[in-house]
Chains A and B, each alone.
Chain A
Amino acid sequence: MIRIHKSLAEIVGEQYVSNRKEELYIYSQDPGMMEPHEPDYVVMPKTAEEVQKIVKLANEEKIPIVPVGGSLSLSGLIIPHRGGIALDLKRMDRVLEVNEKSRYVVLEAGVTTGKLKAYLERNHPSLRFSIPDAPPSATVVGNIVIHGQGRLTQQYGFNSGMVTGLEVVLPTGEVCKIGSCSVGPYWFSVAPLPYLAGLFLGWFGTTGIITKLGLSLYPRKKMRDIEMFLVEDPNLVPDVIHRVTHTEMTEDIFIGAQPYPPVFKDIIMIGICITGDSEEELEFKRRMIWDAVRTHIDSREGGFMMLTPDIKLPLLEMPTTGTTRFADVMKGGGFEYCGPIIPVEKFPEAFKRLLELSSKYGITYGMTGRVIGRSHCMMFAFGYPFNRADPDNIETTKKALHDSNVASLDIGGVPWKPEVPAQKMVMERMDKNTLELMKRIKKLLDPNGIMNPGNWEAE
């Protein structure tokens, strides 16, 4: 133990390695409901070369490595289930390049969404990226690795689809570039080369450690506004989404429903964001959207609510803090959700299952959703606030989450960033040849099985 600690200290410097109990405690958990497990060491490298050396050491010593970003997935993806090294990437926090004309950024793995947002606003105000509704301490790479979504997901798909290049330290220690940056100096695209980025996205750090990322940037319009369309009948939601996305006028479309406070009871809110460089552009888009759902307005089954400034401004925040406020509705500091990706037409069924589970377990719920692509699919969050001081409440919430994962799969969806037990559920239902392919890829890339063990681990 002392020998390994010393070796790590030689790589990163004494002050950036620790096995002190209080620090191991912090890295043993995330804010979700998965059981904590402590690492043996915490290391904070500054460069890809240091990461490379740590990986080589881990291979020699057969010690697990868990890459750590913002630790905010809520599904325990950074919990060191078998101990080893918690590799905290937050010191690698440089924005390396912004290409204005080709609209991409290259950054290190520890750059947070908050830092990138501030950096672009200050230095490149005409550009933006797809900001997730996670706290600003979430890392950009962490969001990409879990196929995260953000404010531009409705327009451009999953945030992971916006990757233009990667630098990865493979589990065997080689530093590997993916995409155009592997051929020349530019990080503009992972195409037209073989799609190797797929070996690392959605794998939760089990196939390598991303140290640099190229990411698409998008035009940042001068103005944003939001319309909020309300319905009571969940069966109408897919059609509303279909009609609104058909206009191709919208930035973000999100859905929400919750029973508390009473003003939200029995209604489903569909938030429709629009952007423009002028009032005229905004007004044109607004009218297109109103016209698109006119049939639901005329039937009086749906309508746009007036958004007062105190409601509108928080909804336009990026990231929104509204989710955080709801997360503590039980005043116990706990919030957890299962957010499967589902076909949009399955919204009514998912919503019905959420209400059934809430009723079955006697717990409150918060449904949030986000349209992905032009209604190609959506994220549907079975969200449950809970009281961390109430063991019974924790237990029932865990059961509800388990059942939510089952429901997600039953209706044809796929759990998003699933925790280890849910990963097993997914793999149980997965096509056997697909599962075998995953196993072979994993074995090929990580022969010693040191990378984030426990995750995507087929029996």
Chain B
Amino acid sequence: MYELKFNEKVCATCPTYDCLVRCQYMDIDKDTAKVEMEKMINGQDSFVLHQCATCYACEEYCKRGNHPFYLITDLQEKKGVLRMPKPLVTQSVNLAIPTRRDIQEFYGATEPAISLCLFPAYIDSILGKLFEDVSIILGRHFFCQLMYLHFGNPSLIRERLPGIIENIARHNFKEVIFFHDECYSTLTSYAPAYGIKVPFKPIHLFEYLYNKLKEHEDEIKPLNIKVAYQRNCSSRLAPKKEHFVDDIFSLIGAERVARRYDRENALCCAGVIRGQQRYELFVDVQKRNVEDMMNAGAEYCVFNCPACFDSLSEAVAKKGIKPIMMHNLCKLALGEKPAGWK
């Protein structure tokens, strides 16, 4: 019942076809890109559907406001193109079914409220000066569902998302901070693309962190460190918030090293590529990414997404680069020690 707002005319007049030409995981020239996009717009099969790493980047590469990635994923589902093995799909679908433990409605939650999505392990990190008086909501019934873009079943997102939005809206929050920018992007990019209404204002974590750091600016002790920033897939859906990464680094004295695979050219953490069972590509992407960080002299790898952290932190740590989540890096700048930090 929710249809993608995709403008075929915008695509037909595109001078670059950057959506596919700039893809980091397929080698596609402009002419081929045009042909393949036309095929997909007409609902036909394309090799793109089968080779897509589902990294979301084409949404950002498209500067004309169209939704090439949502088009691809909808067509993957329609054509039954299974990018993940069936049991992994089953597992992911079941993952978001609320259990008795989830149905704790967080009745006492008040604003400012932060949604921790499905990351209970991070509860202990929502402490300190940055999160004073913040209420937490957490659980499967607040889970944004966007990950099904990776699993070839995006219709499940549209099926579940209105209920999730309702679960959050029930608290009558005017604004909600989203710890995971996948949730933020779901509500600010995916939902509007399909005409799903969001009755509260989503706040990006980095915007919140920046504003809180400003409040405590006189307490910041510059870190004087060199950092690499690992973008996550859903950050491609919220490119307007990317400047907060630089703004925060500037405030806390972290130098973002210049490297090949950063900003729009960022490489995926490769967790999803591994899930697609493309082991060689997984190893290659992680290797290139980490070597790029090392060559640029990064001392820290700063993560936006907990899933990226899980996927890539071991690989960077083995090369002597310290993995850290952005909010924990901010805490260090305020002289606070994140939970488990050594």
Contact = CB atoms under 8 A, between A and B. Distances in A.
Interface string B34-46: 0000000000000
4 cross-chain pairs, A with B, having the tightest CB-CB distances, nearest first: A303-B85, A230-B87, A308-B310, A262-B97
A297 B277 contact: yes
A265 interface: yes
B85 A301 contact: yes
B279 interface: yes
B87 A231 contact: yes
A163 B91 CA distance: 41
Contacts of B271: 306
11 contacts: A262-B97, A262-B99, A263-B91, A263-B95, A267-B91, A279-B318, A303-B275, A303-B277, A304-B274, A305-B88, A308-B307
Contacts of B88: 230, 303, 305
A305 B91 contact: yes
B94 A263 contact: yes
A302 B311 contact: no
Contacts of A261: 99
Contact of B277 (A267, A304, A309): A304
A429 interface: no
A279 B314 CA distance: 12
A364 B275 CA distance: 29
A265 B82 CA distance: 20
B91 A306 contact: no
- Chain A binding surface SS class: mixed
B90 interface: yes
Between B97, B121, B310, the greatest number of chain A beta carbons within 10 A of the residue's beta carbon is seen for B310
A310 interface: yes
A156 interface: no
B86 interface: yes
B269 to A, nearest CB: 10
B310 A306 contact: yes
A290 B279 CA distance: 8
Nearest to A286: B279
A263 B95 CA distance: 4
Given A232-B86, A232-B87, A264-B91, 16 more contacts: A261-B99, A264-B94, A266-B94, A267-B91, A297-B85, A300-B82, A302-B85, A303-B84, A303-B88, A303-B277, A304-B274, A305-B88, A305-B275, A306-B275, A308-B310, A309-B313
Between B82, B91, B274, B313, the greatest number of chain A beta carbons within 10 A of the residue's beta carbon is seen for B91
B227 to A, nearest CB: 22
Contact of B310 (A268, A301, A309): A309
Contacts of A287: 279
Interface residues of A, number: 25
A308 B313 CA distance: 10
Contacts of B311: 306
Interface in B224-277: 271, 274-275, 277
B116 to A, nearest CB: 15
Contacts of B84: 300, 303
- Chain B binding surface SS class: helix
A265 B92 CA distance: 10
A87 to B, nearest CB: 45
Nearest to B83: A300
Contacts of B277: 290, 297, 303-304
Contacts of A262: 94-95, 97, 99
Nearest to B85: A303
Interface in B305-325: 307, 310-311, 313-314, 318
Nearest to A297: B277
A306 B313 CA distance: 13
Contacts of B86: 232, 300-301
A309 B309 CA distance: 10
Nearest to A259: B94
Contacts of B97: 262
Contacts of A231: 87
Contacts of A279: 318
A318 B68 CA distance: 48
Contacts of B274: 304, 306
B90 A232 contact: yes
A305 B94 CA distance: 14
Interface string B163-187: 0000000000000000000000000
Contacts of A268: 87
Nearest to A232: B87
Interface in A233-288: 261-268, 279, 287
Between A230, A287, A290, the greatest number of chain B beta carbons within 10 A of the residue's beta carbon is seen for A230
A167 to B, nearest CB: 46
A264 B90 CA distance: 9
Nearest to B87: A230
A303 B307 CA distance: 19
A302 B318 CA distance: 29
A267 B86 CA distance: 10
Nearest to A283: B283
